[in-house]
Amino acid sequence: MDYPLIVDVFFVLLAILAVVSGWRVFATDSMVRASFFLLVSFIAVGVIMILLAAEYLGVAMFFMMAVEMMVMAIFMVMFMMNPAGLNPMMMVHQHKFSIAAGAVSFLVLAAVALLAEFPDNPLSADIDPVRSLGNELLGDSMLIFESAGIVLLTTMIGVVVLSSHNGRYGAAEEGSMPPGLVPGGDPAGMPEEEDEGGGHHHCH
């Protein structure tokens, strides 16, 4: 062991933080809180990765998860804005199935951690983690993958730009209704007046 004790201390603290905030995701009563508890959990894991000398992966984890959780939270709140997600609500569904799935995946991962044989070939300390990770992942195909990545992203942004003034059913400025299911029929997907209260339960 050639690392200081403080690394162990931090590992334990961060692991506890990751597990506790992961548990809070399911115990909290609001969507925004749940997504940001998940973010805290991921950040703790990211710091553990940095401790394990996987610097790039750890930092990339912060970056990706921050944006991802933000988008998730904003979309959830947008669809259920009222009142700012601060009214308590039940955040858990399908209890029995989730408990079973959780237990099984925990057992599988724990078995992997305990039973698998991990390779043991120490690397020299002066190796550049970013460069070696890139070579490991992409190797000779680096240029192709990078170009493809940029092209894909450009395409996505192009699509956003082209469609930004069009809603799903027409131009943004004009207001719009979804088309009918039969030609000239009533707009599809609109809630019926007398249907209030029915068919809206998807919890329990």
Partner 1 sequence: MAVSWLQRLAARASVPVFPVRGMHGEEVLYRLALTPGVELVDSPRHASILLVAGGVPPDQYGALRRVHDQLPAPFATLWYRSQPLDELASATRIDDPDVLSGALKAMHHELMCGKRGSSPRLLPDEPPNPWEGLGDDGHGGEGMMGGVPYGRPMAMNMHDDIRDGLTLDSLTVTLGPFLPMLPPGLSVEVTLQGDLIQTWTTRDPPYPIALESVFFQALQGPVPIAELERAMARYHLKHLYFALRLAGLEALALTALRLAFESHSNPKRVATLRRRLVRSGFFGLTTTGQGRLDEETARRVGGVAARAAGLEEDWRSEDEGYRQLGFRPLTQRQGDTGARWRQTLAEVEQSLQLAAQAEQDATHTRHSDGVETPRGTWHRQWPEDQSTLLDDLLPGLEWDEALSTLASLDLVPLSPWSLEEASGAPVAQAIAEERRA
Partner 2 sequence: MIFNELILPVLLVTVVLVVGAYLVAVIDEVIAGALGRPSGAGAWMAPLAQGAWLLNQQANATEAPDWRAWRLAPALYLALAAIGLAVVPFSPTLIATDLVTSVVLWGSVEALATVVIFLHGWSANTLLALIGAYRYVALGLSYILISMFVLIGVALPAESLQFSQVVASQEELWNVIRQPLGLPLFLIVGLGMTFWGPLNLADSRDLAGGTASAVSGPPRLVWNLARAAMLVAFSGAAASAFLGGWLGPWLPGPVWMLLKMLAVLAVLLLIGRLMPRVQPERCVTLMWVVFLPLSFVDLIWAGVEALW
| Both tokens assigned to 155 | 């395409």
b/e burial code for range 122-133 (CB count within 10 A of at least 16 → b): eeeeeeeeeeee
Q: What is the spatial distance between Cα 117 and Cα 120, in angstroms, rounded to a whole number?
A: 9
CB of 6 to partner 2, least distance (A): 10
Q: 136 vs 193, which CB is nearer to partner 2?
A: 136
Which residue carries 């050639």 as its tokens? 2
- Touching partner 2, residues 159-188 (CB under 8 A): 160-161, 164
Cβ proximity to partner 2: between 107 and 153 the closer is 153
Taking residues 148 to 187 in sequence order and writing x for each that binds partner 1 by CB under 8 A, - otherwise, the string is: -------------------xxxx-xx-xxxx---------
Q: What is the C-alpha separation between 180 and 3, in angstroms, rounded?
A: 67
Q: How far is the CB of 200 from partner 1 (least distance, A)?
A: 6
132 contributes a contact to partner 2 by CB under 8 A: no
Site membership for partner 1, residue 202 (CB under 8 A): yes
d(CA 90, CA 88): 7
